[in-house]
Amino acid sequence: MRGCGDTGIRGDGGAAVTAPPRVRPRDAATPERQVRVGAVTIIPLLQLHYRVHPLRFFPDLDLAAIDPDAWYWRPPYTEDGFLVIDMGGFLVRTPDRNILVDAGVGNGKQRPNALFTGRDDDWFAVLRRAGTAPDEIDTVVFTHLHVDHVGYATHFDGTAWVPAFPNARFLTTAAELEHWIGGAAAGDRARLGEYIDDSVLPLRDAGVLELVEPDLRISPEVRLLPAAGHTPGNVCVEVDSDGRRAVFAGDMVHHALQLAFPDRSTDFCVDRRGASTARLDLLRGIADRDVLLFPAHFPNSTPGRVVTDPAGGYRYEMVEGDPL
């Protein structure tokens, strides 16, 4: 077993050296990539690299039973025994729409998690380099309303948090909003922070938050797919264009470990059993087919194809795409 609880790494002389930081900005020198799905162009908008101890996500994981050489336990899926959980969102450009799928942790927000608080990342610069200005975004889809998916939806204008995309409608489901503003989520809000107040309610107050059906068609190429479980109103986003398909899975697959063991949900899943069922349904539906999966948190937001692993579960074949 690799030293999963060990935050130090050893240099050549055997002396402990400082481990890489638990969170670090996107590497500005790394060129952005784009992936074409028929007539649709998808550009990962990475905000930051985040590493988390496996037991924080999977508290009942038996670390001693994990094969340290397993594909999902090696880089880029882990670093120094920590899970790599990168964060950001995706720009989806169709022939007539500019859609954002999820909106990262955001900048300048106060959070209980010190790694998320007061960030100042260049996420909007990535968006502009992709050729799209914030006022050209017409739709923002939240796969769900967790803290790391709604951050850039608002920015502080000097007096209040306001929508960061002035010409966009912001889409979530009624079940999702009701969960997060109701009493059922009090425990989660206590550990994640009152982020709904600064990142979601300002959208509602501005009249731009739309509560939509979980199977809404957004454009001829893009529609939502119901996928409750991780959260009560969780959705996937499907792209289907010129016979090519892609699915944005949000947090239905947080980490590659869940491809190898699809029934394993995280400590952040509101309904673990429901999340497991939804994950299995999704993976069965796309495995061994020409369908690209875009998980929200894979290394460098890299999409891939899901293939059946003869040893059990599934594997991931990364698709790097083309330089922007």
Which ranges of 44-96 would DSSP assign to H, the alpha helix?
54-57
Q: Are 244 and 251 in contact (CB under 8 A)?
A: no
Q: How far apart are CA 300 and CA 322, in angstroms?
A: 14
**Shortest CB 312 distance to Zn ion, Å:** 26
Q: Are 104 and 88 in contact (CB under 8 A)?
A: yes
**Shortest CB 250 distance to Zn ion, Å:** 7
**Shortest CB 100 distance to Zn ion, Å:** 15
**Shortest CB 268 distance to Zn ion, Å:** 7
If you count them, how many residues does the chain have?
324
Find the binder of Zn ion among 86, 121, 148, 221 (CB under 5 A): 148
Q: Give the range of 34-42, 185-193, 248-256, 257-265 binding Zn ion by CB under 5 A.
A: 248-256
Can residue 198 be called a binding residue for Zn ion (CB under 5 A)?
A: no
Can residue 86 be called a binding residue for Zn ion (CB under 5 A)?
A: no
Q: Give the range of 37-45, 140-148, 175-183, 234-242 binding Zn ion by CB under 5 A.
A: 140-148
Can residue 176 be called a binding residue for Zn ion (CB under 5 A)?
A: no
Find the binder of Zn ion among 251, 255, 265, 293 (CB under 5 A): 251
**Shortest CB 246 distance to Zn ion, Å:** 18
Q: Are 199 and 153 in contact (CB under 8 A)?
A: yes
**Shortest CB 236 distance to Zn ion, Å:** 13
Q: Give the range of 22-30, 139-147, 172-180, 308-316 binding Zn ion by CB under 5 A.
A: 139-147
Residue placing its CB nearer to Zn ion in the complex, 50 or 72:
50
Which residue matches tokens 């955001």? 106
Q: Which two structure tokens, joined as six digits, stand for 244?
A: 């090519």
Total residues at interface with Zn ion (CB under 5 A): 3
Please list, in sequence order, all residues whose beta carbon lies within 8 angstroms of the beta carbon of residue 288, skipping any fewer than 6 positions away.
306, 307, 308
CA 121 vs CA 76, 100, 116, 252, 283: distances in Å: 22, 17, 11, 25, 33
Q: Give the range of 5-13, 157-165, 178-186, 245-253 binding Zn ion by CB under 5 A.
A: 245-253
Q: How far apart are CA 292 and CA 92, in angstroms?
A: 14
Residue of 243, 236, 201, 239 whose CA lies nearest to 219 = 239
Can residue 221 be called a binding residue for Zn ion (CB under 5 A)?
A: no
Checking DSSP bridges between strand 169-172 and strand 209-211, what pairing results, if any? parallel
Q: How far apart are CA 147 and CA 195, in angstroms?
A: 6
Q: Give the range of 119-127, 148-156, 160-168, 281-289 binding Zn ion by CB under 5 A.
A: 148-156
Query: Which neighbouring-strand residues pair with 315?
Result: 307
Residue placing its CB nearer to Zn ion in the complex, 148 or 221:
148
Residue placing its CB nearer to Zn ion in the complex, 90 or 221:
90
Residue placing its CB nearer to Zn ion in the complex, 148 or 238:
148
Q: Please give the DSSP secondary-structure letter assigned to residue 94.
A: -
Q: Give the range of 38-46, 126-134, 225-233, 247-255 binding Zn ion by CB under 5 A.
A: 247-255
Cα angle 276, 152, 164 (rounded to 5 degrees) comes to 135
Which ranges of the chain would DSSP assign to H, the alpha helix?
54-57, 123-129, 174-181, 186-192, 195-199, 201-205, 257-260, 272-286
Residue placing its CB nearer to Zn ion in the complex, 148 or 176:
148
Residue placing its CB nearer to Zn ion in the complex, 121 or 148:
148
Binding site for Zn ion (CB under 5 A): 146, 148, 251
